Structure 1
Amino acid sequence: MARTAEAVIIGAGIMGCSIAYYLASRGVKDIVVLEQDQIARGATADAAGGIRLQFSTETNIRLAQVSLDVWENFPELFGTEIGLRQQGYLFLLTTEDEVQTFRANAALQQSLGVPVRWLDPAEIGALNPAVRVDDVLGATFCPRDGWADPYSATTGIARAARQLGVEIREETAATGFVIDSGRVRGVRAGDEVISTPLAIICAGPYSRGVGELAGVDIPILPYRRMSFITEPFDAVPASVPMTIEFRSGLYFHPESHGFLFGMANPDDPPGFNKTVDDEWMLRTVEALCARAPAFEEARVMRGWAGFYEITPDDNPLLGWIDEVEGLAVAAGFSGHGFMQGPAVGMCMAELITEGRATTVDISAFAPSRFREGRPSQEHNVI
């Protein structure tokens, strides 16, 4: 007998699993999630695990706040430890333009209840004594920010979704759609067609390609991001916050007994190249040592590459795709997907079952915004 479902979700990363869980929690029981690899083995697995409230747009701040409440209570909610370390995010600002932008950002964040504070250069050493501050004009710091393990978090949510009856099919790619009279009738998975009136694309950097299977353009491009981790190293205190040199995008934070660090290459073209560029690794190490000279004593243990899924305004696409009735998308998070996963799951479940999201108003991130000429630029992108 042909398989039918109330909803088919494409992608079992943090977004797909969160939406499946919250849909099932709202009474949508017949849900199938298709994952071409394994749960949390795509973009989620490559994420650095950052969690922060410091954004420049109200919608992102509110999504981050709702999600942080989940991350802080995750063991009680999902029975899984995710290694949450709330040591804060410290943004180092070295230009007047950055200072102006981040002062405005901090004012917005504070108005929404975020405990962010402005730091003068002399105050930075108390939080991170390793960094050089002679060129720093100011900084922002939020103590509730931090990082966690994306794999443990995503698999914990997936386990809870399965307990609610969600079927997650690993190593099963979506290969096409059945569309009739402008609406979704089914999703192809190999030779099988799953009949459904609802399909949700949560395929991260691969979402544009999935959209093409339905004849729609999803404006997302994949960009390589490389991360590296040092061998065990104690010359920098393990208590320091996630530290970001905003001008270059250099970041580092404690990880296990070493440090995880990285820096975006602005000259990297879009594409699915996951090789580690040794030359860029050396440039990243040089930038790290220039900002925090104690790292000259560290040794790189390994590196890997993943993808940012970037939209024209660095904000996600959340909601219905107008060209095809019954087709929705939750993708294009520009590096912020893991940290916002729970809130997006709640909001998409509300949109689908109630007609609008009530936990957070996500209408500013509707996929139609580019066609309608109302992009919503996020400035705080690393």
Structure 2
Amino acid sequence: MRDAYCVLSKIFHVSRLTSHASHLTPSFILTQPPIRRLTSCPKCDNLAPMTNLPKTSDIVIIGGGVMGASAAYHLAQAGAGLILLLEREPFFGQGATGRCAGGVRYQFATEVNIRLSLASLPMIERFPEEMGQECDYRPIGYLLVLTRPEDVAAFERNVTLQRRLGVQTEWLTGDEVRRRLPLMQFPDALAGTFHQKDGLTDPNSIVMGYINRGRELGVQALTEVTVTGIETSGGKVTAVTTNKGVIQCAHVVNAAGPWAGLIGQMAGIDIPITPLRRQMITTTPVPDLPAD
């Protein structure tokens, strides 16, 4: 079985990893080869970047990460009108999207996240066919290891919820965890959960697949455009101001990720989101641990 060993420091100590990284204490470790960073869609490489800021648009999407790129594509696919996607960095996907491990999973603790996974992971599976862009999806599985009784009780509830919604997560005893992780030291493992279709994908390829296909559908996707304000009247959006000019619009999609709270403030909306720094390392190949 192809297992990915995803280590969450809130559940057990990283020092139990018998690898060259055992002296480090990050919050997340992937003992897998680094994700291959794929380039943009070959059939779309000749699409010239758009540089002219339009004066009007039906919908302005703020943030060119995976959420903004996906929103742009799906809105264009639905025929929602003129779609403008704005990214402040020189390239798309340079924020949280470009700094993540590329993990995708069904194992969540809330119904809304599980339902989102039920919609999004099948999309990733058919991504090459629908987007014309490989995304390096590898369903290597997530195994979450539990060493505290309170975690066992919480994850039992999670698995019950997941199964009720159609996600067939495996429940493992402590002995089963140890058999699946012979290179790890878990004498106090009480239980674990595993889902085979959890895994990894390439964030850059997902973003560029959506961007390129969205442009084919008429999306205007611009980089190095910083939103500086949102104008409203009567409780409705009327315009977005940027460092390159003003765009008259009726709708705004806030896809700014960790900075969504700041964008909300521009429209007088309190969004309880603040940036949180996380740590991650990717080890070199571990002897005796099969790739994927």
Q: How does the TM-score come out when normalised to structure 1?
A: 0.60
Partner residue of 1:121?
A: 174
Aligned equivalent of 1:18, options 60, 65, 70:
70
Q: What is the RMSD computed on CA atoms of the aligned residues?
A: 1.5
What is the letter of the counterpart of residue 23 of structure 1? L
The letter of the residue matching 1:142 is H
CA distance in 1, matches of 2:139, 2:129: 17
Say if 2:250 is the partner of 1:159. no
Instruction: For 1:105 and 1:213, locate their aligned partners in 2 and report how far apart those are by CA, in whole Å.
Output: 37
Residues 62 and 255 in structure 2, CA contact (< 8 A), matched pair in contact too? yes
1:32 correspondence with 2:104: no
Q: Residue by residue, what CA displacement relative to the aligned partner does 1:205-253 show, whole Å, maximum 9, x if unpaired?
A: 11111122222221101110121223344343323xxxxxxxxxxxxxx
Conserved? CA contact 1:54–1:142, under 8 Å: yes
2:186 to 112, 127, 133: 133
* Alpha-carbon distance, 1:8 to partner: 0.3
In the alignment, which residue of structure 2 is the partner of 1:48? 101
- Indicate whether 1:184 and 2:241 are aligned: no
Q: Is the contact between residue 40 and residue 151 of structure 1 (CA under 8 Å) also seen in structure 2?
A: yes
Q: Distance in 1 between matches of 2:283 and 2:220?
A: 38
Q: 1:10·1:199 contact (CA, 8 Å) conserved in 2?
A: yes
Structure 1: distance between partners of 2:212 and 2:227: 21
Q: Residues 221, 81 of structure 1: CA spacing in aligned structure 2 closer, same or farther, 3 A cutoff?
A: same
**Alpha-carbon shift at residue 96 of structure 1 (Å):** 0.7
2:161 is equivalent to residue 108 of structure 1:
yes
1:176 touches 1:187 (CA, 8 Å); kept in 2?
A: yes
Q: Is the Cα–Cα contact under 8 Å of residues 115 and 143 in structure 1 kept in the other structure?
A: no
Distance 1:133 1:209, change over 3 A: same
Structure 2: distance between partners of 1:199 and 1:53: 29
Identity %, equivalent residues: 41
- Which of residues 58, 69, 73 is equivalent to 1:6? 58
Report the Cα distance in structure 1 between the residues aligned to 2:267 and 2:275, rounded to whole angstroms. 19
1:78 aligns with 2:131: yes
Quickly say closer, same or farther: Cα 1:232–1:143, change in 2 above 3 A.
closer
Instruction: List gaps (5 residues or longer) in structure 1.
Output: 240-382
Match of 2:150 in 1: 97
Alignment-mate amino acid for residue 30 of structure 1:
L
Is 1:144 aligned to 2:216, yes or no?
A: no
Going from structure 1 to structure 2, the CA distance change for 1:154 and 1:126 (only over 3 Å counts) comes to farther
Higher relative contact order (CA 8 A, sep 6+): 2
